Amino acid sequence: MGRIGYFFLYICLGIVAVFQIFPIIWLFLFSLKDNREIFSGSPFALPTELRWDNYFKVWESGIGTYFWNSIWITGVAIILTILLASMATFAITRMQWKLNKLVLGLFMVGLMIPIHSAIIPLFSMFLDVNLIDNPWSIVITYTAYNLPITMMILLGFYYTLPREIEEAAIIDGCSVHRMFFRIILPMTMPVMSTTVIINMIYNWNEFVFVNTFISSDKFKTLTVGIQNFIGQYMTDWGAIGATLIISVLPIIIAFIFFSNKVVEGISASAVKG
């Protein structure tokens, strides 16, 4: 491809980037306006005054609780998912036992099951063990449903790890558990970044499970709790915009910091080194 080809390629990519970024910029400017500016002026006009009080208003009204719930539920679910998926993938790819292919197939079946088709069985199960209106029901659900995709990403990388490293560790007297936590797990950090961002995006944005299993405001996450603010500030559209910006900001920040790691992780799991 010559210089002209690259020029037109960058032009096309720039246009796509503008269309991708513009809604976020528009929403941010929307959150800094009051109702008079929103309805009387042009929807694309800059705010005449930066009304940061919209953010303070929604934060002081309780969105901080929903924000914190989203953070710790997402974080705990990611840690459990990656740890369990790494252990299972290590056992399937690096250890020899009769049923490893069958177990791998059972995990991969989870990719073919519609995520929300099990809401009723899960609700019944959590009701029996008193986990309805308990945030741990959300953590368990996120962990279970994210295991197959996380393992699928890890599989390609684990297959490429040289067995000489494990043999040397065993000769030096290293146990299987110590070898996994001290040697194998640190080596998977490149692909781990990919699994972290994928799990974070799903867990942070998930709505149906939280809306079904959680009824108390003190346990709701941002995606569900934001409904309360839409009702509370039905006429204050600037406050609603501020609430939406707060809800998407962590995902944007995570993508900015992990985007390169995601590409590296996908390459590391797909190409044998």
**Could you read off the pLDDT of 133-180 as tens digits, one per residue?**
999 999 999 999 999 999 988 888 888 888 888 888 888 888 888 888
Alpha-carbon span 94 to 103, nearest angstrom: 14
pLDDT for 192 equals 85
Average pLDDT, the chain: 84
Domains parsed from the chain with CATH numbers: 66-233+241-270 (1.10.3720.10)
Alpha-carbon span 99 to 46, nearest angstrom: 63
**Could you read off the pLDDT of 24-40 as tens digits, one per residue?**
888 898 888 888 888 87
pLDDT for 127 equals 93
In this model, does residue 73 exceed pLDDT 90?
yes
pLDDT for 146 equals 93
The Cβ of residue 73 has, within 10 Å, a number of other Cβ atoms equal to 22
Alpha-carbon span 144 to 127, nearest angstrom: 18
Alpha-carbon span 77 to 225, nearest angstrom: 19
**Could you read off the pLDDT of 198-234 as tens digits, one per residue?**
899 899 989 999 999 998 888 999 888 877 666 665 6
Q: What is the pLDDT averaged over residues 74-81?
A: 95
Banded model confidence at residue 54, pLDDT cuts 50, 70, 90:
confident
More confident residue, 241 or 75: 75
Give the whole-number percent of the chain exceeding pLDDT 90: 25
pLDDT for 264 equals 61
Alpha-carbon span 110 to 103, nearest angstrom: 12
CA atoms within 13 A on the CB side of 226: 18
Alpha-carbon span 194 to 189, nearest angstrom: 9
Dihedral of the alpha carbons of 177, 182, 184, 185, in degrees to the nearest 10: 100
pLDDT for 193 equals 81
pLDDT for 272 equals 45
Question: CA gyration radius for the chain?
Answer: 23
In this model, does residue 273 exceed pLDDT 60?
no
Q: What is the pLDDT averaged over residues 228-254?
A: 78
